[in-house]
Structure 1
Amino acid sequence: MSDRPIPRSAVRVVTLSLPGLLLPGCALRGAPAFELFGAYFPLWLLSALVGIAGAVLAYRLSVRTGFAAAVPFPLLVNTSVGVIVALVVWMLGTGQIL
């Protein structure tokens, strides 16, 4: 072994490229999409729209029932509900649940 130090540029290249090599690529079957009115609609967009609708519904229900006054951070709670709903829709759409 030599006593020469490893150049900083080589360390930087390895550090920046290693995470990309560890990430998996797309599957051979393509991106998750479904046909809606003759056009392919991306599942991530549907998940986002359903998640936003879930957050709005959670907000309205919490205000109507008085739960919003008891929760210290209602915006954070309702946003979390929307994210959970969006993730469930995503996982159902990609076949990871059921």
Structure 2
Amino acid sequence: MRRRRPRGGNPARLRATGWIGLAAFSLGGCAEPASPSLPLFGAYFPSWLICTSIGVVGAVAVRGLFVRLGIDDVLPWRLLVYTCLAAAIGFIVALTAYGR
């Protein structure tokens, strides 16, 4: 009687293909020659630091708006909401300004 091959193929080959794919995926970010930075006040600041600062300032401004509208009083987890809001504003700035 003839022995049937497993449907998934050779397990060792599948495992090796998975490791190669994982290595290629994890090393994909190494192709960028330099991180984006901006010259401010005679020094180069990384773009993520500027985007984070804009996100925090934006979250503080939105909090002022929420307090005026009365939304701040009904927010369940204020710290989590404003932290996520600051992160979202920072990510939006990074995507629009640097395309990342």
- Could you tell me the TM-score, scaled by structure 1's length? 0.66
Following TM superposition, by how much is the alpha carbon of 1:33 offset from its aligned partner in structure 2, in angstroms? 0.8
Q: Which residue in the other structure is 2:36 paired with?
A: 32
Following TM superposition, by how much is the alpha carbon of 1:60 offset from its aligned partner in structure 2, in angstroms? 2.3
Following TM superposition, by how much is the alpha carbon of 1:80 offset from its aligned partner in structure 2, in angstroms? 1.8
Match of 2:62, as an amino acid? A
Q: Which residue in the other structure is 2:66 paired with?
A: 62
Q: Which residue in the other structure is 1:81 paired with?
A: 85
The CA distance in 2 between the partners of 1:81 and 1:90, in whole Å, is 14
Partner SS state of residue 84, structure 1: helix
Conserved? CA contact 1:32–1:42, under 8 Å: yes
The CA distance in 1 between the partners of 2:42 and 2:96, in whole Å, is 22
Indicate the structure (1 or 2) with the bigger Cα radius of gyration: 2
In the alignment, structure 1 segments of 5+ residues that lack a partner are 1-5
Q: Which residue in the other structure is 1:50 paired with?
A: 54
Identity percentage over the alignment? 30
The CA distance in 2 between the partners of 1:91 and 1:82, in whole Å, is 14
Instruction: Give the length in aligned residue pairs.
Output: 91
1:61–1:18 distance in 2 versus 1, CA, 3 Å: same
Partner SS state of residue 34, structure 1: strand
Q: C-alpha offsets along residues 27-81 of structure 1, whole Å, 9 cap, x if unaligned?
A: 13x1111111232211010011111112222222212221112222222222221
The CA distance in 2 between the partners of 1:16 and 1:61, in whole Å, is 50
Q: Which residue in the other structure is 1:93 paired with?
A: 97
Q: Which residue in the other structure is 1:3 paired with?
A: none
- Could you tell me the TM-score, scaled by structure 2's length? 0.65
